[in-house]
Structure 1
Amino acid sequence: MTDDLAPAPTTVTTADGLHLEAQWVRPARPRSTVVIAHPHPQHGGNMHSLVVSTLFTHLVDTGCAVLRFNFRGVGGSEGEHDFGEGEQLDVAAAVATLADAGPAPVPVVLAGWSFGADLAATCTAPEVAGWFLVAPPLRVLDPGRFKAGPDPRPTWLAVPERDQFNPPDQARTATADWINTEVHPVAGADHFLVGRTDRLNVLVDRFLDTLGT
């Protein structure tokens, strides 16, 4: 990552008035525009967690505009953990912040890992072009909250082959009635994707190519 593409701090303001700590990179002519949500705060998740950082760096290096943020109560973000309820407002605010950052609103790909993937699946803001969900447990909230499921916009699930919480076959069953959704196993990986994050980079590139954003 070159100095001119170094992450810059910004603030995401939620509908309930909280200010969330965030970083973004905004090239003048981005290949795509992506928001990334982090894993569970009560298990040490934040916007610098492994998969979030890997995707952020790769997407910036390939010319994308990217925003990552800390959920409420994490790091420098105001508020406190809300067990997936208030965090839905956090995701929606992050999408709106990046979509509206340029001279005109642009489509945003919404990505997330684990808890962040589940929360990403709750957001069907009009700016969302599609969802790239990494190792979603699909149990942070009631299944009816995953609004990406019945939405016709494309969703890819990047599911570790050895995921301890929701392996590929289980993910396929859980999303059998989702529209325009594909499950892509990540070979050799478990839920934490240590040593296998390069395979996510390949998958996210493929997903962005299908969108043409």
Structure 2
Amino acid sequence: MVEVFLNNTTEKIEGEYHQSKDVNAPVALVLHHHPQYGGNMTHKMIHNTYTSFINNNFSALKINFRGVGKSTGTFDKGIGELIDAAVAIDWLQEHNSSNVPIWIAGFSFGAWIAMQLTMRRPEIVGFVAISPPATTYDFSFLSPCPVPGLIIQGDNDTLSEEDDIACLVTRVTNSVKSKYMQYYIVGDTNHFLRNKEEEAMQIIDDYIKLRLNNTSYQNSYSNVISKKIQEYA
């Protein structure tokens, strides 16, 4: 893993990058939560998600949005942060084979940015949205969502109400008719999945393996409620 700096037209964006030894390995970009509420790329959820991709033989990049860590600039209410993420995708493409699959993952605010980028970049083949802030931010741009992915939420998430997440899941699953569209509620935890990070990471790891191996699997998490996608179709 090495420290990298990505340059766009106005800002310098700090990142950490792992290059797989496999030149044809898929790549992943991981985005952190709200910069004004402690979001940064060293947060446990971000680092663990990043590591999960690496352990599954991805080349992976995590970044600090503008104004965070060594990244220059100031918070831009999602507009500049979307540019930061787009620059990161461009950087990944420059440093990897042009035809490798690209995944994007985001936590909370980062999930909102990740989903927007999924709509804009046809080279993205999968997403992981952790605690998407559907109560606070507008996700109506997902009409239709072009690719399947994984959505995870805590059952005591007071920042993203379950009904709002359910509407988001409905919107996505109505447009993505795929067994690879997955939604999980992790029991007995909050928006940050506190004290349930390991269970969340196991869900993410299993989902990545499901997509890579193209095989079905059974989950066995005692504190996880699997919301069958058919309930929201």
Q: Distance in 2 between matches of 1:31 and 1:212?
A: 11
Q: Distance in 1 between matches of 2:4 and 2:122?
A: 22
Q: CA deviation at 1:31?
A: 5.5
Q: Distance in 1 between matches of 2:28 and 2:76?
A: 24
Q: Given that residues 110 and 132 in structure 1 are in contact (C-alpha distance below 8 angstroms), is that contact kept between their aligned partners in structure 2?
A: yes
Q: 1:48 to 1:129 in 2, by over 3 A?
A: same
Which letter maps to 1:42? Q
Q: Distance in 1 between matches of 2:201 and 2:154?
A: 14
Q: 2:124 maps to which residue?
A: 128
Which letter maps to 1:162? N
SS at match of 1:71: coil
Segment drifting more, 80-89 vs 57-66: 57-66
Deviation track 1:149-195 (CA, whole Å, cap 9, x = no partner) reads: 51231122111121111244431123322222432112222111222
Alignment of 1:77-156 (within 5 A): 77-123=71-117, 124=119, 125-139=121-135, 141-144=137-140, 146-147=141-142, 149-156=143-150
Which letter maps to 2:167? T
TM-score (norm 1): 0.86
Segment drifting more, 101-110 vs 130-139: 101-110
Which letter maps to 2:20? P
Q: Distance in 2 between matches of 1:98 and 1:155?
A: 20
Q: CA deviation at 1:44?
A: 1.2
Q: Given that residues 135 and 159 in structure 2 are in contact (C-alpha distance below 8 angstroms), is that contact kept between their aligned partners in structure 1?
A: no
TM-score (norm 2): 0.79
Q: 1:192 maps to which residue?
A: 192
Seq. identity, %: 26
Q: Distance in 2 between matches of 1:9 and 1:168?
A: 37
Q: Given that residues 110 and 128 in structure 1 are in contact (C-alpha distance below 8 angstroms), is that contact kept between their aligned partners in structure 2?
A: yes
Deviation track 1:121-140 (CA, whole Å, cap 9, x = no partner) reads: 11031221111000011255
Matched, 1:23 2:23: no
Which letter maps to 2:212? G
Q: Distance in 1 between matches of 2:98 and 2:169?
A: 34
Segment drifting more, 104-113 vs 166-175: 166-175
Q: Distance in 2 between matches of 1:210 and 1:169?
A: 27
Please tell me whether Structure 1 or Structure 2 has the larger radius of gyration of its CA atoms: 2
Q: 2:209 maps to which residue?
A: 209
Q: Distance in 1 between matches of 2:125 and 2:56?
A: 18
Match of 1:9 among 3, 13, 17: 3
Question: Any unmatched runs of 5+ in structure 2?
Answer: 214-233
Q: CA RMSD in A?
A: 2.1
Q: Distance in 1 between matches of 2:193 and 2:56?
A: 21
Q: Given that residues 134 and 164 in structure 2 are in contact (C-alpha distance below 8 angstroms), is that contact kept between their aligned partners in structure 1?
A: no
Q: Given that residues 12 and 97 in structure 1 are in contact (C-alpha distance below 8 angstroms), is that contact kept between their aligned partners in structure 2?
A: yes
Q: 1:21 to 1:105 in 2, by over 3 A?
A: farther
Aligned length: 204
Question: Any unmatched runs of 5+ in structure 1?
Answer: 1-6
Q: Given that residues 53 and 60 in structure 2 are in contact (C-alpha distance below 8 angstroms), is that contact kept between their aligned partners in structure 1?
A: yes
Q: CA deviation at 1:105?
A: 4.1
Which letter maps to 1:86? G
Deviation track 1:19-67 (CA, whole Å, cap 9, x = no partner) reads: 2000010111275421110011101111111210121223323422110
